Amino acid sequence: MRLLPGVVTVLLIVGVAYYVYVPLPDAIQEPWKLMMVDAGFRTVMQLTSLQHWLGLDHCFKCICEATEGFGSMVKGLLTSVSGGGVMPGVKVSDLTFAGVPVRVYEPPAGGEGHLRRGLMYFHGGGWKFGSAKTGAYDSTSRTLSDELNAVVVSVEYRLYPEVHFPMPYLDCLAAAKHFLSREVLAKYAIDPERVAVSGDSAGGNLAAAVAQEISTDESMSEKFSVQALVYPVLQALDFNTPSYLQNENIPLLYRPVMVRFWLQYLGVDLSLQPQFLANNHSSLQHFTPELRARLDWTVLLSPKYRKNYKQLIVEKGLEGLSKEVPGLLDVRASPLLAEPEVLAKCPRAYIVTCEYDVLRDDGLMYARRLQDAGVSVTNDHYEDGFHGCFSFISWLEFDVGKRAVRGYINWLQNNL
């Protein structure tokens, strides 16, 4: 009987190690740290899946708030110990722009007559998680405001399950139009020629879509001068690109998880996930060759990224899905599908991509299509990067995350 506690302890240790361990490529630095972060993320995802299965979707917000609150608490404790993370000259205000909640970061007042930069940011999180007010988003916004002498507006667009597409996009568009109005730019002493739109992951999707709409809206007198997209998600028709297949089991964004985010965003029955993973939702019978060419990775990707992967095109798949889910072909949901004439009007772009990210090829294809349309594009690709690394720069940091954020800030410093 004395052996029982020891046996239980060993079994617990083995069980935890089995749950935490994920095989990772040698190029990824600090692998055990990433495994621990991933284990926490998977736990949250499994809890939310359980509550959905139990029909307790009303509890989802509570879980999100609890996890975000825990992260903020830990960050706050560590910040108070280190004394870092606070920009004393930056003023922070929680306001609404066109009825949409935003957090505004204002740098210290400059000399009279000096105009400042402006930047609107949309956070990531699969249109389901995240907040401008917590974690790295708040920290990075403060740093951007201070270092760039910029007014940063971080948008709290509505999330799943409260809303589906196109509501998050419409929230972001409304806030962007308000921000770009002459009255607001003048109020914050922002140079109309130096205003950026930016976002990461799902936020990069929203930033690209909003940039396209603003660029082609003749009623807008002021427009964004640059777009800065961090590992953006840009299409929902091909979940078998080389990066989706190469990185399907790499943290922090697994291939099935990204597909699930898309289904939730577009309001599709989650039981169809296997069909989407097999590209049965995007068969030849539904889409013209012209449309398919806009995400043809066999042409848009260099051999370095195509490798030996084969394109998966299904001749006959799900019937009538494109009519039931119009968001599949809506460029506001999938900016990669935009026509060349639209892309040609977009502002110059900065696109961050990571080698170990299912969304790598989305970003690379968009960079190529923008360049083909005549838009100036800078692509910073991180060979040791993984999805989400941009957010690990403060209390839980990765070297690649710090490098990615520094490269992003430096590009804005030189181009905005």
Rounded to an integer, what distance in angstroms lies between the CA atom of residue 103 and that of residue 97? 10
Rounded to an integer, what distance in angstroms lies between the CA atom of residue 70 and that of residue 185? 35
Residue 307, CA distances (Å) to 231, 237, 298 in order: 20, 20, 10
Report the amino acid identity of residue 388. G
Say if CB 364 and CB 321 are below 8 A apart.
no
H helix or E strand, kind and range, residue 197? strand 190-200
- The secondary structure of 342-387, three-state, reads HHCCCCEEEEEEEEECCCHHHHHHHHHHHHHCCCCEEEEEEEEEEC
H helix or E strand, kind and range, residue 96? strand 91-97
A 10 A CB-CB count for 331 gives 18
A 10 A CB-CB count for 149 gives 15
Considering only CA atoms, which of 209, 200, 321, 335 is closest in space to residue 267? 321
Considering only CA atoms, which of 316, 331, 334, 230 is closest in space to residue 279? 316
Residues that are catalytic: 201, 357, 387
Rounded to an integer, what distance in angstroms lies between the CA atom of residue 289 and that of residue 37? 41
H helix or E strand, kind and range, residue 67? helix 60-82
